[in-house]
Amino acid sequence: MKQGKPRKILSIDLNTSEYEVKSFEDLDNYIGGVGLGFKLMEMYYEKNPLILAVGPLNGLFPFASKTSIVLNNDGVIEDIYIGGSLSLRIRYGGLDAIVITGTAETKTVLDILNSSVSFRTQNEDPDTLGLPGKRSVTKIEENKVLLGGYFTTPEHYLEKEFAEKNISGFVVTGTELINITDFDKYEELYKKILNRKDELSVIEGTYPSCSNCPIGCGKSKTGEMGGNVLLHSLVACQYADKIYTDVGVVFSCLNVLGYNYTHEDIEFLPKLIEQTLRRIS
Amino acid sequence: MPKTLKVAFPEKCVGCEMCVMEAQRQLTKIGLEGALIRVFRNTNTKMGYIEYSLEIDPRISNLDVEKIQKICPKGVFEIEEIE
């Protein structure tokens, strides 16, 4: 069996106000994002988890700025995506995913710094927690979950989860650095992808932009829902599909980051996800 | 003459942090720790109206500031010569 990179998962239990970090050696084939999210949903299904998952390209390549959110909406497993700065903070926190289970006794704000969690009361304004410039703040504002005061998700699934879990916000701060063996090759590939920004199927604007994306489009505010599983496992923007559904590009990115995937692994991903979803359903 | 980076048009910033990442890459770093540019969202603005502010560490002048200026999609920075 192929030896992959372990996936680091921060698991938070709101029932007991406890948390733990687990390293899984056998999740490599799910790549990240929605693939990893669905697999974690299967693993934690009985605990009705809310899962935030990033992919291997988040924080490292342009236009790969979304965070995958997987949740159980009355028996239907939904995957929605939020923009902003969250995916970079999770990645720079050294994490691949955050799994939140249980229900807090009183309204709670989760203050996450890398792999550690502080359980705060709702009296503490999330905007005052974490480290400025290195944090991402998500909180309820006027009945909507807003990230950075702007970015939202489609439908009302996340708002429902916040209510069910009795949380009013979470702050993620990431202070770790990522090591890359061949930095020159990485940078060359980064610039090559950045130079393809005209291939994005969205109009450049002056709206708040997702981190590591220069476009400032008006579309990222509302997030994404469903769609291409490779794109959402990475977790890249849906408007960058011309770039990140190109298996050659994806393979190059993963390779330079030290992931030992083959083209076949990437091609098999949709089937693997389908099988996982079938088991949960 | 050495050059430095100045935030000339903060109101144009869209918070993409491309400048932060570029400066970090020049130091062969990936992440936010030790970043010479920091982008903050101003939280005292009214809901739905987002503003960002930037802080630049003076050590930025040791980097290729023209590259940082160029990567900003909205033209937030100007280059200044240091006397």
- Taking the domains of chain A in order of start, what are their residue ranges? 1-281
Q: A216 contacts in B (CB within 8 Å)?
A: 14, 16, 73-74
pLDDT at A263: 85
Judged on CB neighbours under 10 Å (0-12, 13-18, 19+), A266 is: middle
pLDDT at A281: 82
pLDDT, tens digit (0-9, with 9 covering 90-100), for B47-82 = 667 999 999 999 999 999 999 999 999 999 999 998
Distance of CA A41 to the CA centre of its chain: 14
Q: Could A148 and B41 be called an inter-chain contact, meaning their C-beta atoms sit closer than 8 Å?
A: yes
Mean pLDDT of chain B: 94
Bridging pattern class, strands A108-113 and A167-173: parallel
pLDDT along chain A (281 residues), means of 10: 80 98 95 97 97 98 98 95 98 98 98 98 95 96 93 96 97 97 97 97 96 96 92 95 93 93 90 95 82
Q: Taking the alpha carbons of A250, A255, A259, A262 in that order, is the dihedral positive or negative?
A: positive
pLDDT at B48: 64
H-helix segments, chain A:
33-44, 86-92, 157-165, 183-194, 229-234, 241-244, 247-256, 263-280
**Contact with chain A for residue B39, Cβ under 8 A:** yes
Cβ B13 vs Cβ B52: under 8 Å: yes
pLDDT at B45: 65
Q: Taking the alpha carbons of B34, A250, B74, A80 in that order, is the dihedral positive or negative?
A: negative
Hey, where are the domains in chain B?
3-81
What is the rounded CA–CA span in Å between residue A14 and residue A19? Answer: 9
pLDDT at A47: 97
Cβ A91 vs Cβ A58: under 8 Å: yes
Chain B CA closest to residue A187 = B25
What is the rounded CA–CA span in Å between residue B83 and residue A143? Answer: 53
CA of B61 to nearest chain A CA: how many angstroms apart? Answer: 20
CATH of domain A1-281: 3.60.9.10
Distance of CA A48 to the CA centre of its chain: 18
Q: Tell me if the pTM is above 0.80.
A: yes
Radius of gyration of chain B (CA): 13
Q: Could A214 and B16 be called an inter-chain contact, meaning their C-beta atoms sit closer than 8 Å?
A: yes
What residues of A are in the B interface, CB distance below 8 Å?
59-60, 62, 85, 88, 92, 127, 132-134, 141-142, 148-150, 174-180, 183, 187, 190, 204, 206-216
- Residue A211 phi, psi (nearest 5): -65, 140
Question: Is residue B46 pLDDT above 70, yes or no?
Answer: no
